[in-house]
Structure 1
Amino acid sequence: MSVATVTDDCPDSFDGSGYAVRECDELLAGGRSETAEVDAFLDHIDEIDREQRWHARFGAPVEDFEHENDGAFIAPLVFELGDIRSLLANWAYVQSAMSISDPFRLMLDYTRAMMAFLLFKPLLSSIEIIGLGGGSLAKYCHKYLPDSAIRGVEIDPDVIAVGDQFCMPQASERFETIWADGFDFVAQDERKADIILIDGFGKHGQSPQLCSLEFYRACRSRLNPGGIFVANLCDHPWKHLPMLARMRECFGQIATLPVEEGRNRIVFAFKDRDLHFDRDGLVEAAKSLELTHPLPLVSFAEELLW
Structure 2
Amino acid sequence: MFKSVLPALLLLLGAGTPWPGKAEIVHSERSLYRNIMVEDKGDLRCLRFNVKQKKSNQSCLYKSQPQQLVFNYTKLLFSGLILNSQPERILIVGLGGGTMSNTLHQLYPDARIDNVEIDPAVIKVAREYFGFFENERVTAIDQDGRLFIKRALMKKQQYDWIILDAFNGEYIPEHLLTREFLQEAKQLLSDNGVLTSNTFSNSGLYAYESATYYDVFGDYFNVRNSVNENRIILTAKQPLPDMKILSRRLDDLDKRLKPYGVNIKVIFALMTQASQEKDWPEDTRVLTDQYSPANLLNID
**Shorter-chain TM band:** 0.7 to 0.9
2:130 aligned partner, one-letter code: F
Change (3 A) 1:89 1:259: farther
Matched with 1:236 is: 202
Matched with 1:224 is: 190
Contact kept, 8 Å, 2:18 with 2:70, in 1: the verdict is no
Q: Give me the whole-angstrom Cα distance separating, in 2, the residues matched to 1:41 and 1:251.
A: 33
Change (3 A) 1:290 1:79: same
Of 156, 168, 182 in structure 2, the residue corresponding to residue 202 of structure 1 is 168
Q: Give me the whole-angstrom Cα distance separating, in 2, the residues matched to 1:236 and 1:34.
A: 22
State the TM-score, normalized to the length of structure 1.
0.74
Higher-RCO chain (CA-CA 8 Å, sequence separation at least 6): 2
Q: Give me the whole-angstrom Cα distance separating, in 1, the residues matched to 2:193 and 2:241.
A: 15
Of 89, 103, 116 in structure 2, the residue corresponding to residue 153 of structure 1 is 116
Of 294, 297, 302 in structure 1, the residue corresponding to residue 264 of structure 2 is 297
Secondary structure (helix, strand or coil) at the match of 2:113 reads strand
Secondary structure (helix, strand or coil) at the match of 2:115 reads strand
Q: CA deviation at 1:219?
A: 0.3
Contact kept, 8 Å, 2:80 with 2:234, in 1: the verdict is yes
Secondary structure (helix, strand or coil) at the match of 1:272 reads coil
Of 80, 89, 95 in structure 1, the residue corresponding to residue 40 of structure 2 is 80
State the TM-score, normalized to the length of structure 2.
0.75
Contact kept, 8 Å, 2:199 with 2:232, in 1: the verdict is yes
Secondary structure (helix, strand or coil) at the match of 1:177 reads strand
1:152 aligned partner, one-letter code: N
Contact kept, 8 Å, 1:93 with 1:205, in 2: the verdict is no
Q: CA deviation at 1:163?
A: 1.6
Q: Is residue 277 from structure 1 mapped to residue 254 from structure 2 by the alignment? A: no
Q: CA deviation at 1:99?
A: 1.2
Matched with 1:134 is: 97
Per-residue deviation, residues 166-186 of structure 1 (Å, max 9, x unmatched): 01012x221010000011111
Q: CA deviation at 1:250?
A: 0.8
Extract unaligned runs of 5+ from structure 2: 1-10, 24-29, 274-300
Contact kept, 8 Å, 2:49 with 2:58, in 1: the verdict is yes
Contact kept, 8 Å, 1:127 with 1:148, in 2: the verdict is yes
Percent identical: 25
Q: CA deviation at 1:154?
A: 0.4
1:221 aligned partner, one-letter code: Q
Extract unaligned runs of 5+ from structure 1: 1-32, 47-69
Contact kept, 8 Å, 2:47 with 2:97, in 1: the verdict is yes
Matched with 1:248 is: 214
Matched with 1:62 is: none
Contact kept, 8 Å, 1:225 with 1:271, in 2: the verdict is yes
2:223 aligned partner, one-letter code: L
Q: Is residue 183 from structure 1 mapped to residue 150 from structure 2 by the alignment? A: no
Contact kept, 8 Å, 2:13 with 2:75, in 1: the verdict is no
Q: Give me the whole-angstrom Cα distance separating, in 1, the residues matched to 2:172 and 2:119.
A: 14
Secondary structure (helix, strand or coil) at the match of 2:79 reads helix
Secondary structure (helix, strand or coil) at the match of 2:257 reads coil
Q: Give me the whole-angstrom Cα distance separating, in 1, the residues matched to 2:139 and 2:108.
A: 15
Q: CA deviation at 1:213?
A: 0.8
Q: Give me the whole-angstrom Cα distance separating, in 1, the residues matched to 2:254 and 2:147.
A: 36
Contact kept, 8 Å, 1:194 with 1:227, in 2: the verdict is yes
How large is the Cα RMSD of the aligned pairs?
Answer: 2.3
Secondary structure (helix, strand or coil) at the match of 1:94 reads strand
Q: CA deviation at 1:255?
A: 0.6
Contact kept, 8 Å, 1:109 with 1:261, in 2: the verdict is no
Matched with 1:268 is: 234
Matched with 1:192 is: 158
Q: CA deviation at 1:235?
A: 5.8
Q: Give me the whole-angstrom Cα distance separating, in 2, the residues matched to 1:261 and 1:162.
A: 30
Q: Summarize the alignment of residues 85-164 of structure 1 with structure 2, pairs less than 5 Å apart.
A: 85-90=45-50, 91-164=54-127
